[in-house]
Amino acid sequence: MILDNKLYVLPLILFVILIWAGNFVSISYIVKEMDVFTALTLRLAMVAILLFPFLRRLPNQSDFLVLFLATTAIVPGHFGLLFLSILNTKSVGGISVLIQLSIPFSILFAWLLFKDRPSNLRIVGLLIAFTGIVFLLYDPSLLDSRNAFILAIGSAFCLGIYFIIIKKLKNVKSLAVIAWTSLLGSPMMYIFMFYTNNSFSSILEIQNTSTLVAFCYTVIAGSILGHGLWAYLVKTQDISFISPFLLLVPMFAVVLSSIFLNEEITFSFMITSSVIVFGIFLVFISKNVKNNLKD
Protein backbone atom coordinates (compact mmCIF):
# COMPACT_ATOMS: atom_id res chain seq x y z
CA MET A 1 0.00 0.00 0.00
CA ILE A 2 1.36 3.44 -0.99
CA LEU A 3 0.67 4.93 2.46
CA ASP A 4 3.04 2.34 3.94
CA ASN A 5 5.87 3.50 1.64
CA LYS A 6 8.14 5.85 3.59
CA LEU A 7 9.57 7.27 0.36
CA TYR A 8 6.05 8.51 -0.41
CA VAL A 9 5.22 9.74 3.08
CA LEU A 10 8.55 11.51 3.73
CA PRO A 11 8.18 14.19 1.00
CA LEU A 12 4.70 15.02 2.33
CA ILE A 13 6.07 15.43 5.84
CA LEU A 14 8.98 17.61 4.69
CA PHE A 15 6.64 19.74 2.57
CA VAL A 16 4.43 20.43 5.59
CA ILE A 17 7.51 21.25 7.67
CA LEU A 18 8.70 23.81 5.13
CA ILE A 19 5.22 25.38 4.95
CA TRP A 20 4.94 25.70 8.72
CA ALA A 21 8.45 27.11 9.04
CA GLY A 22 7.49 29.82 6.58
CA ASN A 23 4.28 30.37 8.51
CA PHE A 24 6.24 31.62 11.54
CA VAL A 25 7.90 34.28 9.39
CA SER A 26 4.58 35.25 7.82
CA ILE A 27 2.91 35.67 11.21
CA SER A 28 5.71 37.98 12.34
CA TYR A 29 4.92 40.27 9.39
CA ILE A 30 1.18 40.16 10.08
CA VAL A 31 1.24 41.03 13.80
CA LYS A 32 3.34 44.12 13.08
CA GLU A 33 0.42 45.80 11.30
CA MET A 34 -2.70 43.86 12.30
CA ASP A 35 -4.40 43.05 15.57
CA VAL A 36 -3.96 39.37 16.44
CA PHE A 37 -7.65 38.53 16.78
CA THR A 38 -8.66 40.53 13.71
CA ALA A 39 -6.03 38.72 11.65
CA LEU A 40 -7.19 35.33 12.92
CA THR A 41 -10.87 36.10 12.35
CA LEU A 42 -10.21 37.14 8.75
CA ARG A 43 -7.86 34.22 8.17
CA LEU A 44 -10.36 31.63 9.38
CA ALA A 45 -13.23 33.25 7.49
CA MET A 46 -11.27 33.21 4.24
CA VAL A 47 -10.26 29.58 4.72
CA ALA A 48 -13.89 28.62 5.34
CA ILE A 49 -14.95 30.45 2.17
CA LEU A 50 -12.24 28.85 0.04
CA LEU A 51 -13.12 25.40 1.37
CA PHE A 52 -16.89 25.90 1.23
CA PRO A 53 -17.46 22.80 -0.97
CA PHE A 54 -16.19 20.67 1.92
CA LEU A 55 -18.86 22.14 4.22
CA ARG A 56 -21.77 20.93 2.12
CA ARG A 57 -21.72 17.48 3.71
CA LEU A 58 -22.82 17.79 7.31
CA PRO A 59 -20.96 15.57 9.81
CA ASN A 60 -22.91 13.30 12.12
CA GLN A 61 -23.48 14.33 15.72
CA SER A 62 -20.48 12.52 17.19
CA ASP A 63 -18.11 13.84 14.51
CA PHE A 64 -19.46 17.36 14.96
CA LEU A 65 -18.70 17.20 18.68
CA VAL A 66 -15.14 16.07 17.90
CA LEU A 67 -14.80 18.91 15.37
CA PHE A 68 -15.97 21.43 17.97
CA LEU A 69 -13.42 20.15 20.49
CA ALA A 70 -10.71 20.19 17.81
CA THR A 71 -11.65 23.78 16.93
CA THR A 72 -11.37 24.86 20.56
CA ALA A 73 -7.90 23.32 20.76
CA ILE A 74 -6.53 24.61 17.45
CA VAL A 75 -8.11 28.08 17.13
CA PRO A 76 -8.15 29.96 20.47
CA GLY A 77 -5.71 27.42 21.90
CA HIS A 78 -2.92 26.95 19.37
CA PHE A 79 -3.41 29.77 16.84
CA GLY A 80 -4.42 32.42 19.37
CA LEU A 81 -1.54 31.74 21.75
CA LEU A 82 0.93 31.34 18.86
CA PHE A 83 0.09 34.74 17.36
CA LEU A 84 0.28 36.37 20.78
CA SER A 85 3.63 34.73 21.55
CA ILE A 86 5.16 36.00 18.31
CA LEU A 87 3.71 39.45 19.03
CA ASN A 88 5.54 39.47 22.40
CA THR A 89 8.99 38.50 21.15
CA LYS A 90 11.57 39.50 18.58
CA SER A 91 12.77 35.93 18.15
CA VAL A 92 10.60 33.95 15.75
CA GLY A 93 13.16 31.14 15.85
CA GLY A 94 12.80 30.81 19.62
CA ILE A 95 9.02 30.46 19.39
CA SER A 96 9.33 27.85 16.63
CA VAL A 97 11.56 25.83 18.96
CA LEU A 98 9.11 25.95 21.85
CA ILE A 99 6.14 24.95 19.71
CA GLN A 100 7.86 21.60 19.16
CA LEU A 101 6.87 20.67 22.70
CA SER A 102 3.61 19.60 21.02
CA ILE A 103 5.50 16.46 19.94
CA PRO A 104 6.05 14.86 23.36
CA PHE A 105 2.55 15.98 24.30
CA SER A 106 0.97 14.26 21.27
CA ILE A 107 3.05 11.08 21.58
CA LEU A 108 2.26 10.84 25.30
CA PHE A 109 -1.47 11.33 24.67
CA ALA A 110 -1.41 8.79 21.81
CA TRP A 111 0.32 6.27 24.09
CA LEU A 112 -2.21 6.77 26.89
CA LEU A 113 -5.39 6.98 24.78
CA PHE A 114 -4.71 4.82 21.70
CA LYS A 115 -2.07 2.43 23.08
CA ASP A 116 0.14 3.70 20.22
CA ARG A 117 3.33 2.74 22.04
CA PRO A 118 6.53 3.78 20.22
CA SER A 119 9.35 1.27 19.80
CA ASN A 120 12.51 1.56 21.88
CA LEU A 121 14.54 2.86 18.93
CA ARG A 122 11.86 5.45 18.20
CA ILE A 123 11.89 6.55 21.85
CA VAL A 124 15.69 6.89 21.73
CA GLY A 125 15.49 8.90 18.52
CA LEU A 126 12.84 11.16 20.02
CA LEU A 127 14.88 11.72 23.19
CA ILE A 128 18.02 12.57 21.17
CA ALA A 129 16.13 14.99 18.94
CA PHE A 130 14.30 16.57 21.86
CA THR A 131 17.59 16.96 23.72
CA GLY A 132 18.72 19.06 20.78
CA ILE A 133 15.64 21.23 21.25
CA VAL A 134 16.49 21.69 24.94
CA PHE A 135 20.03 22.81 24.07
CA LEU A 136 18.61 25.27 21.56
CA LEU A 137 16.69 26.92 24.39
CA TYR A 138 19.99 27.88 26.01
CA ASP A 139 21.00 29.91 22.98
CA PRO A 140 20.45 33.51 24.21
CA SER A 141 19.58 34.68 20.70
CA LEU A 142 16.49 32.48 20.53
CA LEU A 143 14.25 33.73 23.33
CA ASP A 144 13.88 37.14 24.94
CA SER A 145 10.50 37.20 26.67
CA ARG A 146 9.03 35.26 29.60
CA ASN A 147 5.49 36.03 28.45
CA ALA A 148 6.24 34.70 24.97
CA PHE A 149 7.74 31.57 26.58
CA ILE A 150 4.56 30.84 28.56
CA LEU A 151 2.27 31.56 25.60
CA ALA A 152 4.32 29.30 23.30
CA ILE A 153 4.20 26.42 25.80
CA GLY A 154 0.42 26.77 26.03
CA SER A 155 0.17 26.85 22.23
CA ALA A 156 2.23 23.66 21.97
CA PHE A 157 0.07 21.90 24.55
CA CYS A 158 -3.11 22.78 22.63
CA LEU A 159 -1.56 21.64 19.34
CA GLY A 160 -0.67 18.28 20.89
CA ILE A 161 -4.27 17.88 22.05
CA TYR A 162 -5.53 18.81 18.57
CA PHE A 163 -3.42 16.06 16.95
CA ILE A 164 -5.04 13.50 19.22
CA ILE A 165 -8.60 14.78 18.81
CA ILE A 166 -8.62 14.64 15.00
CA LYS A 167 -7.34 11.07 15.21
CA LYS A 168 -10.88 10.18 16.32
CA LEU A 169 -12.43 11.50 13.10
CA LYS A 170 -13.13 8.58 10.76
CA ASN A 171 -15.81 9.95 8.43
CA VAL A 172 -14.51 13.47 7.80
CA LYS A 173 -12.01 14.22 5.03
CA SER A 174 -8.80 16.07 5.87
CA LEU A 175 -9.73 19.30 4.07
CA ALA A 176 -13.22 19.11 5.58
CA VAL A 177 -11.57 19.15 9.02
CA ILE A 178 -9.83 22.40 8.10
CA ALA A 179 -13.04 23.84 6.65
CA TRP A 180 -15.16 23.05 9.72
CA THR A 181 -12.57 24.17 12.28
CA SER A 182 -12.21 27.44 10.35
CA LEU A 183 -15.97 27.95 10.17
CA LEU A 184 -16.47 27.17 13.86
CA GLY A 185 -13.36 29.06 14.93
CA SER A 186 -14.07 32.31 13.11
CA PRO A 187 -16.86 33.47 15.50
CA MET A 188 -14.67 32.47 18.46
CA MET A 189 -11.97 34.86 17.27
CA TYR A 190 -14.55 37.52 16.42
CA ILE A 191 -15.68 37.55 20.05
CA PHE A 192 -12.08 38.15 21.17
CA MET A 193 -11.71 40.85 18.52
CA PHE A 194 -14.91 42.56 19.69
CA TYR A 195 -13.95 42.55 23.39
CA THR A 196 -10.48 43.95 22.61
CA ASN A 197 -12.12 46.89 20.80
CA ASN A 198 -10.74 46.05 17.36
CA SER A 199 -12.48 45.94 14.00
CA PHE A 200 -12.02 44.81 10.40
CA SER A 201 -11.22 48.39 9.39
CA SER A 202 -7.68 47.87 10.65
CA ILE A 203 -6.89 45.92 7.50
CA LEU A 204 -7.36 49.16 5.52
CA GLU A 205 -4.47 50.69 7.46
CA ILE A 206 -1.95 48.14 6.22
CA GLN A 207 0.85 49.94 4.35
CA ASN A 208 3.30 47.17 3.44
CA THR A 209 2.55 44.81 0.57
CA SER A 210 4.62 42.14 2.36
CA THR A 211 1.98 42.03 5.12
CA LEU A 212 -0.78 41.24 2.64
CA VAL A 213 1.39 38.60 0.96
CA ALA A 214 2.13 37.08 4.36
CA PHE A 215 -1.57 37.04 5.19
CA CYS A 216 -2.40 35.21 1.95
CA TYR A 217 0.41 32.75 2.72
CA THR A 218 -1.03 31.88 6.12
CA VAL A 219 -4.47 31.33 4.57
CA ILE A 220 -3.53 29.21 1.56
CA ALA A 221 -0.27 27.56 2.58
CA GLY A 222 -0.29 27.60 6.38
CA SER A 223 -3.95 26.70 6.88
CA ILE A 224 -5.23 24.83 3.82
CA LEU A 225 -2.11 23.04 2.57
CA GLY A 226 -0.18 22.67 5.81
CA HIS A 227 -2.92 21.64 8.21
CA GLY A 228 -4.81 19.77 5.50
CA LEU A 229 -1.85 17.55 4.66
CA TRP A 230 -0.96 17.09 8.33
CA ALA A 231 -4.52 16.05 9.20
CA TYR A 232 -4.27 13.54 6.36
CA LEU A 233 -0.96 12.21 7.71
CA VAL A 234 -2.27 11.99 11.29
CA LYS A 235 -5.26 9.95 10.14
CA THR A 236 -3.17 7.55 8.03
CA GLN A 237 0.14 7.24 9.91
CA ASP A 238 1.29 6.43 13.44
CA ILE A 239 1.54 9.63 15.47
CA SER A 240 4.71 8.37 17.14
CA PHE A 241 6.32 8.15 13.67
CA ILE A 242 5.31 11.45 12.06
CA SER A 243 5.30 13.78 15.09
CA PRO A 244 9.08 13.78 15.72
CA PHE A 245 9.66 15.17 12.24
CA LEU A 246 8.15 18.43 13.47
CA LEU A 247 11.42 18.93 15.33
CA LEU A 248 12.81 20.02 11.96
CA VAL A 249 10.44 23.03 11.87
CA PRO A 250 12.59 25.30 14.08
CA MET A 251 15.65 24.55 11.95
CA PHE A 252 13.85 25.69 8.81
CA ALA A 253 12.20 28.57 10.68
CA VAL A 254 15.49 29.94 12.01
CA VAL A 255 17.04 29.80 8.54
CA LEU A 256 14.05 31.58 6.99
CA SER A 257 14.03 34.11 9.85
CA SER A 258 17.68 34.83 9.12
CA ILE A 259 16.88 35.44 5.46
CA PHE A 260 13.70 37.49 5.81
CA LEU A 261 13.95 38.95 9.34
CA ASN A 262 17.75 39.27 9.70
CA GLU A 263 17.86 37.02 12.78
CA GLU A 264 21.23 35.56 13.71
CA ILE A 265 22.20 31.90 13.11
CA THR A 266 24.70 30.86 15.78
CA PHE A 267 27.31 28.11 15.69
CA SER A 268 25.59 26.34 18.61
CA PHE A 269 22.39 26.24 16.55
CA MET A 270 24.22 24.45 13.74
CA ILE A 271 25.66 21.86 16.15
CA THR A 272 22.40 21.12 17.94
CA SER A 273 20.61 20.97 14.60
CA SER A 274 22.87 18.06 13.66
CA VAL A 275 21.81 16.28 16.86
CA ILE A 276 18.16 16.83 15.98
CA VAL A 277 18.66 15.43 12.47
CA PHE A 278 20.29 12.30 13.90
CA GLY A 279 17.37 11.75 16.27
CA ILE A 280 14.92 12.20 13.41
CA PHE A 281 16.88 9.64 11.38
CA LEU A 282 16.50 7.04 14.14
CA VAL A 283 12.76 7.68 14.25
CA PHE A 284 12.56 7.35 10.47
CA ILE A 285 14.29 3.94 10.30
CA SER A 286 12.44 2.50 13.31
CA LYS A 287 9.21 0.55 13.28
CA ASN A 288 6.21 0.92 15.52
CA VAL A 289 5.68 -1.74 18.20
CA LYS A 290 2.38 -2.84 16.63
CA ASN A 291 4.08 -3.41 13.28
CA ASN A 292 6.83 -5.44 14.90
CA LEU A 293 4.27 -7.70 16.52
CA LYS A 294 2.59 -8.25 13.17
CA ASP A 295 5.90 -9.16 11.55
**pTM for this one?**
0.78
- Alpha carbons 82 and 75: distance in angstroms, whole number: 10
Q: Which long-range contacts (CB under 8 A, 24 or more apart) does 205-210 make?
A: 205/33, 206/33, 206/34, 207/33, 208/29, 208/33, 210/29
Convert the pLDDT of each residue in 101-155 to its tens digit.
Answer: 787 787 777 777 777 777 788 788 878 877 887 777 676 656 666 788 789 889 9
3-class SS of residue 58: coil
Question: Which residues, other chains included, contact 293 with Cβ-Cβ below 8 Å and sequence gap of 6+?
Answer: none
Whether the CB-CB separation of 122 and 241 falls below 8 Å is answered with: yes
Q: What is the pLDDT of residues 12-66, one digit of tens each?
A: 899 999 999 999 899 999 988 888 899 999 999 999 999 999 998 889 989 999 9
**What pLDDT, in 10s, does the model give residues 230-285?**
878 877 887 777 877 887 888 888 888 888 888 777 777 778 778 887 887 787 67
Task: Give the span between the Cα atoms of 211 and 30, in whole angstroms.
Answer: 5
Provide the sign of the torsion angle of the four alpha carbons 37, 41, 42, 46, taken in this order: positive
Which parts of the chain fold into alpha helices (H)? 6-33, 36-50, 61-72, 81-87, 92-98, 102-114, 120-136, 146-166, 174-195, 209-217, 228-236, 239-242, 249-260, 267-285, 289-294
